[in-house]
Amino acid sequence: MSSHSGSLQEGVRLYRLKRWDLALQELLKVNPDKFNPEENAELAYYLGLCYTKLERYDNALLYLEQVVTSGRDPLRIYQCRMALAYIYVITKRSKMAEFELHRLASNGFESAQLYTTLAYAAWTQKRFQQAVEYYEKALDLDESNATALNGLGYVLTDTGIDPLRGLRCCRKAVDLKPQNAAYLDSLGWAYYKNGELLEARTWLRRAIEAAPQQKEIKEHLRIATGES
């Protein structure tokens, strides 16, 4: 086995252990000129995922697009298009995210994750009713999807579309993942929007304990406690 193949395998091993920094260091040792097209596609795949996990999105896009254009592995192409869509949403390029996701859906790659990402893209563009519809499609595919329950609950309560139903959705999300700070925040905010201030403050304080630097949670807690 060549040193380049060894670095690729070690990088993959570290990636699976969620050691993103170390995995990237190992993968960057590889000289792609020494690889065949299949090995290069695998290298690009893991480089793209590592850069995504490390939130180095410009680098991630370069490698993820390589995998997509290679057209070699349908499952990996799906995963990379999902990663591309996620990056586009995070970097406020929601139209590009929607393009990737609609392309996947038209090719039969429906999933709860696809619809939750579409919902979030719609939410960022203030298309709230469409966001609700996408979250509901996600739940049609996976009724216990915590991301979809939390997202749907937040949209319904924050916009006033259906605060009581939104509260129920947020409760379910927290029941599924009780340590998730974003879900705790949504539940606290849902209680606030339903006029239950004591419960709101309780859950928002739990959220801030789990993620003390999160600005949105701080703002929700400030509003719920009436602090200036």
Dist CA 213 CA 179 (whole Å): 16
State pLDDT tens for residues 175-216. Answer: 999 999 999 999 999 999 999 999 999 999 999 999 999 999
On average, the pLDDT of the chain sits at 91
pLDDT at 3 over 70: no
The confidence band for 110, taking pLDDT boundaries of 50, 70 and 90, is confident
pTM to 2 decimal places: 0.80
Q: What percent of the chain has pLDDT over 70?
A: 97
Cα 74 to Cα 69, 70, 107, 109, 111, distances in angstroms? 11, 10, 11, 10, 15
Q: Mean pLDDT, to the nearest integer, of 117-125?
A: 92
Report the residue count for the chain: 228
The confidence band for 4, taking pLDDT boundaries of 50, 70 and 90, is low
The confidence band for 1, taking pLDDT boundaries of 50, 70 and 90, is very low
Q: Mean pLDDT, to the nearest integer, of 113-121?
A: 93
Beta-carbon count within 10 A of 159 CB:
17
The residue with tokens 């579409």 is: 118
Q: Which domains does the chain have, with CATH numbers?
A: 1-72 (1.25.40), 88-143 (no CATH), 145-228 (1.25.40.10)
State pLDDT tens for residues 27-68. Answer: 999 888 878 888 888 899 999 999 999 999 999 999 999 998
Q: Mean pLDDT, to the nearest integer, of 70-85?
A: 85
HEC string of 113-144 equals HHHHHHHHHHHHCCCHHHHHHHHHHHHHHCCC
pLDDT top residue among 72 and 129: 129
Judge contact between 176 and 144, C-beta under 8 A: yes
